[in-house]
Amino acid sequence: MSAKFRVKVDSELLNLSEIEIIDRCDENIAIELDGEFLDYESFISKYYQRESTQLLDASADTSFNLSDREEPIMALNFSDLKAFIPVFDGRAEDTFNFVYSCLQAINLAPESQKPILF
């Protein structure tokens, strides 16, 4: 079950899920995140930035973290790393997958290629 967020729609206060918020993104809405009400664009930016940070923190705790290895398993060239990153067409529902894929490519990249991907 997905989380519910407090959302102001006109003078009404509702509890909506992520999907319900996306469905109403064309309306004049304000979504509460971390104690403040944000417009849709600000909410998406802040929420997915926070979610991707939590995913990275969680992946750092696993035993399969490539950054802990002294030598890379295999050398990936830039084309291989770029293939991990899908084309982003600007749709809100694709934001999380795009950001997550970018972070995965950066984590797999050798230090010399990380600035190029960033």
Rounded CA-CA distance 61/24 in Å is 36
Residues 68, 113, single domain; the answer is yes
- 59-113 pLDDT per residue, tens: 555 444 555 544 445 556 777 777 778 888 888 888 888 888 888 888 877 777 7
Rounded CA-CA distance 111/114 in Å is 5
Residues 86, 114, single domain; the answer is yes
User: What is the structure's pLDDT at 72?
Assistant: 47
Choose the weakest-confidence range: 16-30, 32-46, 56-70, 72-86: 56-70
Kindly report whether the global pTM for this prediction surpasses the value 0.85. no
The verdict on residue 24 lying in a domain is: yes
Residues 27, 69, single domain; the answer is no
Rounded CA-CA distance 95/36 in Å is 22
Residues 66, 18, single domain; the answer is no
Q: Based on DSSP, count helices (H) and strands (E) in the chain, helices before strands.
A: 5, 4
* Domain extent at residue 102: 62-118
